[in-house]
């Protein structure tokens, strides 16, 4: 495991480079930050190929499974749609498959917007991650108001069966994975540290811990060919209370023969090598893989709030994307990596901006790999290099 100092040195080196802190005078040819760091993943020809006669490479060209969260509205914008189709081979509906959107009233299903996304995927030769069947948030109010195990079980069963069967029958082979249960665990801070508990929800209140296993079994019965995932945030490393608790919970599901195929790590993170650091994430991927599960990075973004949207921040972001995407794909069990939004202007993090307590910082999260008008950021190259097997040191 590399010492944390490593990142500090890189930051220091980058800062020096970007601020022009060179001991020589201005006659010195300008070095790219990559050269200053002593590595080069791609020849310059590839980096400038958009200006040459061959087409610029895209993420999709690498053959890796690389996905993005999209909105039905976004896909109506030709520039957005073209970038999505060129760079990605997998989509996740950002909101359109959530319970409040798809079954707003009991037994009344509206697939219009979800179908628009899945049709786009099918027509462009892409797959879809279904997101999400059972979650405490963005739940239809009528579900939250249910009382009694029978009522909740009936609603959950009908919802999973109807939604999974809809895509199984109408778009065969396109929705390849479901986040069956999302964010079921919580961390409660006690005097001795964090304790993992099941998060309060109508499902947990009425059905107990077993609601998770029940949901997976219903999904598997409905479509035996789709991959079934548990998905959560803050569980990317190995050591924290929620990380240990989640691993134990998922291990128990596997041991009990519950039909779970994979673990989804949301990966909402920042530009520094922490929360998790890349080595710890790799160790976590390995222990889930050892359970026989596939793993995915499902909702990645790298907010710049801690460092600001300046040149240093963008280079750190590139580095961070590269290290984490590399860490996932280093495991044969890593099925895909998805980013939570296309361009920075599309990010859900803009809803809160960069706030610290009462203070709102004069910078934006800018957490994605494409800018507001879908131009490639430095972070794009960080991911591209990872997808082509080049990990930054
Ligand atoms: C977010 C969407 O991006 C927002 O548009 C919406 O307002 C709230 O939900 N974890 C998840 C995602 O599993 O579904 C969330 O998506 C982000 C956190």
What's the pLDDT tens digit per position in 98-133? 999 999 999 999 999 999 999 999 999 999 999 999
- 364-375 pLDDT, tens digit per residue, is 999 999 999 999
> Counting atoms of ligand 1 from 1, which one is nearest the CA of 341?
3
Q: With cut-offs at 50, 70 and 90, classify the pLDDT of residue 188.
A: confident
Q: With cut-offs at 50, 70 and 90, classify the pLDDT of residue 54.
A: low
Q: Is 100 in the pocket of ligand 1 (CB under 6 A)?
A: no
Q: 114 CA to middle of ligand 1, Å?
A: 15
Pick from 359, 379, 360: nearest CA to 368: 379
Measure the CA angle with vertex 133, ends 163 and 121; round to 5°: 60
Top-confidence residue, 23 or 320: 320
Half-sphere exposure of 114 (CA within 13 A, CB side): 25
- Give the burial string for 213-248 (b: 16+ CB within 10 Å, else e): bbbbbbbbebbeebbbbbbbbbbbbbebbbbebbbe
Q: Is 350 in the pocket of ligand 1 (CB under 6 A)?
A: no
Average confidence score pLDDT of the chain: 90
Q: With cut-offs at 50, 70 and 90, classify the pLDDT of residue 283.
A: very high
- 312-340 pLDDT, tens digit per residue, is 999 999 999 999 999 999 999 999 999 99
Query: Which two three-digit tokens encode residue 1?
Result: 């495991």
Q: With cut-offs at 50, 70 and 90, classify the pLDDT of residue 55.
A: confident
- 235-268 pLDDT, tens digit per residue, is 999 999 999 999 999 999 999 999 999 999 999 9
Residue to mutate, 67, 72, 93, 94, ligand 1, most ligand atoms under 8 Å from C-beta? 94
Q: With cut-offs at 50, 70 and 90, classify the pLDDT of residue 20.
A: very low
Q: 350 CA to middle of ligand 1, Å?
A: 12
Q: Is 95 in the pocket of ligand 1 (CB under 6 A)?
A: yes
Q: What is the pLDDT of residue 66?
A: 98
> Counting atoms of ligand 1 from 1, which one is nearest the CA of 347?
3
Half-sphere exposure of 353 (CA within 13 A, CB side): 9
pTM (predicted TM-score): 0.90
Top-confidence residue, 53 or 226: 226
Q: What is the pLDDT of residue 38?
A: 53
pLDDT at 183 over 50: yes
Residue to mutate, 346, 348, 349, ligand 1, most ligand atoms under 8 Å from C-beta? 348
Taking CA atoms only, the protein residue closest to ligand 1 atom 5 is: 348
Q: What is the pLDDT of residue 190?
A: 78
Q: 70 CA to middle of ligand 1, Å?
A: 11
Instruction: Work out the average pLDDT over 59-81.
Output: 98
Q: What is the pLDDT of residue 12?
A: 39
Is residue 240 within 8 Å of residue 275, measured between CB atoms? no
Q: With cut-offs at 50, 70 and 90, classify the pLDDT of residue 150.
A: very high
Contacts of 325 (CB under 8 A, 6+ apart): 297, 300, 337, 382, 383, 386, 387
Q: With cut-offs at 50, 70 and 90, classify the pLDDT of residue 357.
A: confident
Identify any residues that bridge with 336 across adjacent strands, giving them in sequence order: 296
Q: What is the pLDDT of residue 32?
A: 56
Q: 33 CA to middle of ligand 1, Å?
A: 34
Q: Tell me which residues are annotated as active site.
A: 183, 299
Top-confidence residue, 351 or 13: 351
Q: With cut-offs at 50, 70 and 90, classify the pLDDT of residue 40.
A: low
Q: What is the pLDDT of residue 235?
A: 97
């Amino acid at each position: 495991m590399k010492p944390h100092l490593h990142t500090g040195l890189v930051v220091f080196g980058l800062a020096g480079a970007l601020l022009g802190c060179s001991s020589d005078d201005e006659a010195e040819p300008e070095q790219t930050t990559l050269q200053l760091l002593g590595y080069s993943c791609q020849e310059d020809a590839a980096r400038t190929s958009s200006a040459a006669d061959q087409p610029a490479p895209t993420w999709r060209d690498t053959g890796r499974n690389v996905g993005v969260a999209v909105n039905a509205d976004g896909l109506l914008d030709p520039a957005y749609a073209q970038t999505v189709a060129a760079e990605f081979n997998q989509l996740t509906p950002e909101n359109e498959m959530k319970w409040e959107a798809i079954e707003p009233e009991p037994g009344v299903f509206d697939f219009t917007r979800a179908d628009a996304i899945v049709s786009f995927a099918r027509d462009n030769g892409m797959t879809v991650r279904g997101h999400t069947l059972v979650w405490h948030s963005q739940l239809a109010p009528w579900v939250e108001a249910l009382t009694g195990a029978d009522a909740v079980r009936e609603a959950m069963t009908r919802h999973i069966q109807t939604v999974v069967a809809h895509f199984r029958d109408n778009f065969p082979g396109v929705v390849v994975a479901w986040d069956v249960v999302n964010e079921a665990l919580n961390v409660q801070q006690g005097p001795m540290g964090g304790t993992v508990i099941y998060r309060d929800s109508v499902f947990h209140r009425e059905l107990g811990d077993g609601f998770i296993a029940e949901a997976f079994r219903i999904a598997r019965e409905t479509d035996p060919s789709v991959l079934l995932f548990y998905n959560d945030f803050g569980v990317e490393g190995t050591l924290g209370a929620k990380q240990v608790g989640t691993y134990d919970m998922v291990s128990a599901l596997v041991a009990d023969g519950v039909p779970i195929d994979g673990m989804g790590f949301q990966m909402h993170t920042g530009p520094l090598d922490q929360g998790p650091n890349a080595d710890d994430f790799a160790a976590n991927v390995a222990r889930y893989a050892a359970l026989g599960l596939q793993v995915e990075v499902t909702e990645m973004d790298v907010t710049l709030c801690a460092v600001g949207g300046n040149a240093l921040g963008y280079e750190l972001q590139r580095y961070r994307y590269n290290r984490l995407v590399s860490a996932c794909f280093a495991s044969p069990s890593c099925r895909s990596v998805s980013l939570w939004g296309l361009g920075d202007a599309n990010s859900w993090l803009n809803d809160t901006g960069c706030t610290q307590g009462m203070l709102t910082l004069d910078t934006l999260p800018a957490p994605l790999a494409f800018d507001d008008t879908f131009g490639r950021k430095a972070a794009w190259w960080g991911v591209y290099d990872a997808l082509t097997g080049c990990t930054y040191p």
